[in-house]
Structures are given as C-alpha cells and as structure tokens.
Structure 1
C-alpha cells in the first residue's frame, strides 16, 4: 500500500471531474425514490418460512447492500448449500419507475468516496438487503455438492429468511462460519482444477480511503475468506446455469480464451518476469501455481486478464452450448441482483424452471435485450475504474518528475508498451519502440498531468 499525499485536495477534485465526465448519477429522481419507498413497504406473500435456518452473510465490513446469505449442512457424503439471494424482483415490477431506471444503469458503480447504486438505498441497503436486523424476503437456492465437487441445483423458492450475523472478510474467524464452509470451497476448487478451469484473480489495483480526505493506492490480494466465499457463488451460478441450459432458456456469462498471438506475448511476459513456464505446460496449469502476493506473479496475472477476449452475456440459443473459458463450464450470473441488472432475470427464470412453470415472456424478452445493456454498463464501469486509478497514480507521483523507475513491459501495441512499475502499484503505458513483452526497462517520469490523469514516461538514458 502507498499513501497518497494530497495536500491540495486534487484527488477529491479529480473524482468530482470523473463523476461529471462520465455523467455518474448523484442520486435518483423524486419519481424513482417515491416508487422505491412504496415498493419497500410491500409485504411478502407466498414466501415459505425459512427463518429457522441460521443464515449468515460475509462481505466487506462497510457493505450494506448484502446480496447473499448462506448456510451449509452435511447430507451423507454431500454438502448442501442453502444460498439466500436478495429477492429484488419482489420489490421491483416490470416497467415501473425503479425498473426503468435500473435498465438505464445496468449495474452499481463503485467509487472511493461512495457509489452510484443500481437501485435506491431504501431497497438496496434496507428493505431488500439481507441485513441481520429482521426477516427479509429472499430467493433460496438449494445446491447439493458431491465429494467430487460436482454441484446440482435441487431447489429454488421464495422464502422469508433471517440472517444471524453480518460477518466481515478481514476479521471473520473459522468458528464464525458454518462447519462445512472451508470444505465446500476446497471441493469447488478441486473440481475447477479437474475440469481445467483457471479463474485469474489478480490482486485488485484500488484506491482506499484512509479518512480525513486521505487515500492509499495498493495492489490488494484477495483474502482467504473472500476466495472461499466466492466458491459459494461459483457453485450456485454453475448449478443455475446447468438447470437453465437443460430447460432451454437463460442468460449466460460467456468468454473465449486468449488468441494464439496473445499466448505468444504471455510467454514472453512470463520470461521477462522470471516465471518458469515449461513448453509442455498450458496457461491454466501455470495460473494455478501463481501467488497474488508475489509482485512478479501479480504483474503476470494482470497481463493474463488483459490478454483475454473479455467476458460478455449471451441468451440461450438452440444447439449452442454457452461457454466461459476461465470457468471451463457453462456459467450464469444469479447471485448479485442488488448490483447487476441481469441477475434479477436469471433468478426469475430459475424460480420458474425449478417449479416446472414456463419462464415468463417478459423474462425471455429481457434475455434478448440484456447482453447489449450489460456490455455498455460494464464498459462504462471499467472506464470509470481506470480513470480513478489513473488519477490516484498521478496524484501519488506528482512532484517526482525526473525520477527513474524500474519497470517491466507486460504487453505491447505497436510502439506503445504497457508497463508495470517494479516498486509501486502503478500500471501504465508509454512509447518504447521495439519493446517486447517481459522486457525489463528503466523509465524516467517526464510529466504528471492531473487534469488528464496522465503520466508521461520515457526510456531512461
């Protein structure tokens, strides 16, 4: 972590400029807020009572928009996951003011000083959020996990649930969790390896508020608690995707692998970073050996993420098996409806399929329209995230013009090279004619432009 010294408030001003540039909404219109207020009063009807299940949540300590609560119990040699997901569709109706605004936004946008939510806070952080302050309507998925790590969706129902505890990634203890939590994650991870999956989870390059207007820029590896928690979502999303694909409906998360050209660049990058990558070992096998805490490994993981063709959404098409290369399976998003628009419709389809009912026509129509909406939202969110990081890097390096920095080239595009500084959590681009991925370079910082959030480097003499 590197503290950012910002005595003149450039970061705060820059964040305001980013909000203006990308037209990030500061809130919701009175019409949407009024509709959300009314929706929050809607009493559950037809929900089963599952308040006897001791659900818990696990999230960042500051989070209040809690999508998921869970409980795990043994069943012979299997583990059964009860996964409660916020029942957003209970509160939001097709075509109402809240729904229309959500279609404009697509997903929640996160910024260091706050967020632009997909839904108004009275829903996303109160009535629909699975907070431990009272019963909440939810959709409970029942996922059976075998000893081989294979998962199957056994049920999906609307239910009233009560979370017993709001647990946090950074201080949760093993004794706080259901007894099967670690074993469930281990089985899911083993199954991933067996089918040749390799989800790349590089450390996140992020800006962290420290209080009093101060921030820090860091590369943050995922905690063990985060990785284990992610296994619950992964298993549920795989099970839901399989059920929908079998039923001939759904919206799926799809991604192709790196091209041959990208693979060649990755091998050069690995060599430059000092990674041992034998010719007879494929990329996925190498990825499973990487350590987020190793700076060279982290740089390579970032390069792998950029080398892929990017993930997207695709509706069910007869005769086509939707595929997510990193997961090495058919995969869907169904576990974060407070933050992603698409999940609300996937959940509705799963409820219908598991009840033996036809999927509503409006859900099938949404599956056809959502890929374009989600692609636009994800692209905008990615641009905003990059702009925030660029701003933090510029503020951090302001005043250090003329200094030399060791770096590694992780990718090239003509004479433009993407570089990763060796001793700072800074990833950028500079012109280095003839550069090759993996090349070690010494750079001089020539300029810092806070207005454009741009760092200018050149090869040091």
Structure 2
C-alpha cells in the first residue's frame, strides 16, 4: 500500500512529542535490536561469501532520496536492438540471514520497516541494512540481479534472476537525475530509464492500471502556535524508477505462477462505495471529477504540485486498503490479480524493508536456476500472509496515528473557527460523520446529524494533541 509520508525536518514538533511517544508505546514499536540479533548481524556482515558470477563491470547506479543508506535496488538500462535490456540488482538478504536464526526471528516479529516523520524503525540491523547488504556506491556486494528483455513497446519478453557480485557506480538522488535529464546531460543509463519508464507507464494506461506516487508532506512552524502542511510533489523520474520495480514484481509473480508455488501481493477490485467516498473527497477539495471519468483516468489527471491535488492523492490510498498476500503451492490462487496493477504482482524489490520479499526472491532464484526451493521457504510460506498482515496492521495504525497527530497540530489554536467542509461518510455505528475540510486539507470527525455529500460549515470544537484527535460540529 502506498504510504502517506510526513516529514519533520526539525524533528517531532514539541506539542505532539508526548503523543508520538505514547503512540509508539501503544503499538509496541521497538526501539533497539536484541543483543543476539546484533551479534549475529555483525558475524554475518563479516563472513559473507561473494558469488562467482561477476557483474562489477556493469555500470549500475542507485536512485534514492538524499542521505539514504538502506539501498535495496541498483539499475542499469541499455538499448538492445529495437528494444531494451534492463538489469536490476536487489539486495541479497539470503546471504546474511540464517533461517530460524536470531535475525530471522526478529524480522518475523517486525515484518516491515516502520516510518515516522523524523525516523525509521528498521526491519534489519543497521550493520546489514545500511552496511554489508546495502548496495552502496563503490562497494562490491552480493546481489540478486534481474535481467529483463523488453521489446520496442516496453513489453517484457523474458525475465530471469540470478545471484552475482555487483558494484554501484554512483548513488544518485531524484532531483539530480531529473535535472540532468532535463538539461540533456544525463548518461545513457538514465536516458534509457526515462524511455523505459515512459513506455511502461503507457502500458499501465492500456491495462487500466494505476500506481500512486503519493506526495510527501512536511510540517512547519509558521508562528508561535501556528503550524502548516506543505507538499513535495514527486518528480517524473520517481515514476519512471518505480516502473522498473513494478515491472520486476510482475515478472516475479509470473515466474511463481508458472512454477506453481509462491506468494502474491493481491488487491481486490475497488468497491463502488469506496470510489463514491473518494468522489466526495474530491468535491470537498473543490476538484472536478466528471461522472464519465473512471478512477485511474482521474488519478492520472491530478497535478501533484497543486496542494489540493496532492491531498487527493493522499486520500486515494484508501483504495489500497484490503490488500493482502496469497500463498500457493500446487494450486493457483483463485484471484491472482492485483486490482490496481491489473496483473499478477509480487513484492520482491525491497528485502531490506519487507520480510516477504526475501521469500519471493528465493523462490524466483531457485526456479530460474532449476533448483529445489529450500525447505525453509516452503515451511513458512503459508504462515507469511498472517505474519505480513499483522505487520501491516501495525504499520497502518502507526501511519494513521502520525497523521492524526500532525493534523491535530495543524489545527491547534484554531478552536472556535469555522471551516468549509463536505460530508464524505456517515458513521452508522457511533453516529456523526466524517468530513473533508477544504483548507487545511484534512479529514476529521463531525458530531451531530449530517447528510452524506452535503457541503456544510463546520466549527472546530476540540483539539487533543496527545491523542491526535480533532472534532467538529455542524453550524
């Protein structure tokens, strides 16, 4: 599921610091790794064996936000006849994690890396995630290298994955890559990334699929008791880079389906009620959404540089709820498609941050090599959906809690003020409703009676900074 990303450049703002600590404690978010995990990680980092296959002559590069140290992916793109050859190196966690060992057990307990505005709670110890397993520039690393052959239209005609030693040439950031491409000074690898990315986006449109590049938000102080949210829109290169990851996830899913064993990322088709709710959100944000325009077309029309459209993209993550994992061994899942991708899809490109990626990677690695899938994979395969579901429930609760705290902060000190709003849902169980405020673009609870879809004036009556809760009443 796409994440709503909040950033706090100066750290957690003082007024919500206590609420943030309470949120972490309530969700049992770990602060440190046990000593046994750290010791095993140190040993693994110092004893890794590099593969015989040597691809250190390939000019791989990484593209990540500035300052990133947990680098899961490195890419290389070149023209091949009328089409393209894409090499995509993925961090090789299997070379560091002993099945059933201390690192493995801790990774199962955590499931995913957790993100807060000023920090992350990693899935793996830093000596691995930010060191020996990370695809840092200039360092020889063991990696799982996907090789995709694409035709002139960007359609994948063949994919395979094998272990190899690699060395990234440079650690690039999105803004720098975009500037070089716009100026015409980018090298052939980055030009190839743009070409393949654009082709893959066109294929996505043809499938009726949609992928969300959710803008990040920053919270800033604008006065002694005033805070505001600003949006950082994603750059085109972020979409192009994401298409390489999505392409690899779809290739992994197909390899597993053909082999009759694996674990897919699934998402049921969006329900009409959820889409209708998003239409009301758009109404509340004063964004036109004609009835003849479907959801994918509407999302593609949004301009993430417009704060109202950026807020709409954040709200659109609603349709990704209900995503899960389907494990299979022998009998294909009844519903193998990912509703947003409109294709089978698997998580395999972020093993430093997601537990399930290690299992998908190992299955694909074994299948492509014509080898037996290791016993540790099959033993855990059918328990993984529940493990990941628990981890994602905590991650989503963490995200919702952070969103609540930040939005409460932005509205603090404005009790008694009136706001233009639209009623986007009715709370049948507790009474009241949920509203979309036009400015600032937040969703909040409304007490009292309200008509679904109506435009109202709402008075802010309560802000609880400790709980991250705000409440309005209709005027």
- The Cα of 1:34 is off from its aligned counterpart by 0.4
Q: Which of 437, 441, 449 is the matching residue for 1:433?
A: 449
Cα drift, residue 349 of structure 1: 0.6
Change (3 A) 1:2 1:166: closer
Q: How many residues align?
A: 456
Deviations 1:272-312 (A, max 9, x none): 55555454443333333232234444444444432455211
Structure-to-structure mapping, 1:400-419, within 5 angstroms: 400-414=414-428, 415-419=431-435
Q: Does structure 1 residue 381 correspond to structure 2 residue 381?
A: no
Question: Which residue of structure 2 lines up, in the alignment, with residue 335 of structure 1?
Answer: 349
Q: Secondary structure at the match of 1:170?
A: helix
Residues 136-163 of structure 1 deviation map (CA, whole Å, 9 limit, x = unaligned)? 1111000122223322443211111111
CA gap 1:309/1:20 in 2 versus in 1, 3 angstroms? closer
Distance 1:209 1:336 in 2: 34
Normalised to the residue count of structure 1, the TM-score between the two structures is: 0.91
- SS of residue matched to 1:49: coil
Unaligned 5+ residue runs, structure 2?
Answer: 1-5
Are 2:11 and 2:117, in contact at CA under 8 Å, matched by a contact in 1?
Answer: no
The equivalences for 1:1-400 within 5 A come to 9-172=14-177, 173-174=180-181, 175=186, 178-205=190-217, 217-270=229-282, 273-307=285-319, 309-316=321-328, 318-319=331-332, 320-400=334-414
Contact 2:423 2:450 in 1 (8 A): no
Deviation of the 1:267 alpha carbon: 4.4
Per-residue CA deviation, residues 146-189 of structure 1 (Å, 9 max, x unaligned), is 22332244321111111111111233332155330111101110
Deviation of 1:60 after TM superposition, in Å, equals 0.9
2:102 and 2:219 mapped to 1: Cα distance? 33
Equivalent-residue separation in structure 1 for 2:370 and 2:304 (angstroms): 44
Distance 1:409 1:60, change over 3 A: farther
Where do 5+ consecutive residues of structure 1 fail to align?
none
The superposition leaves residues 243-281 of structure 1 with CA deviations (integer Å, 9 ceiling, x where unpaired) of 111111111010012223334444455555555545444
Displacement after TM superposition at 1:399 (Å): 1.7
How many Å separate the matches in 1 of 2:281 and 2:16? 32
User: Matches of 2:109 and 2:151 in 1, distance apart?
Assistant: 40
Q: CA deviation at 1:382?
A: 1.0
Cα RMSD, aligned residues only: 2.8
Please state whether the residue corresponding to 2:198 is helix, strand or coil: helix
Q: TM-score, normalised by structure 2?
A: 0.88
Q: Do 1:4 and 1:392's aligned partners in 2 also have CA atoms closer than 8 Å?
A: no
**Shift in CA distance, 63/252, structure 1 to aligned 2, threshold 3 Å:** same
Q: Check the 8 A contact 1:198/1:326 in 2, yes or no.
A: yes
Deviations 1:350-402 (A, max 9, x none): 11111111222221232211101111111101111121121122223222211
Are the structure 2 counterparts of residues 52 and 2 from structure 1 closer, same or farther at C-alpha, using a change threshold of 3 Å? closer
Distance across 1 between alignment mates of 2:327 and 2:130: 30
What is the distance in 2 between the residues matched to 1:152 and 1:128? 30
Pick closer, same or farther for the CA change 1:434–1:216 going to 2, 3 Å.
closer
Q: Distance in 1 between matches of 2:108 and 2:458?
A: 45
SS of 1:336's equivalent in the other structure is coil
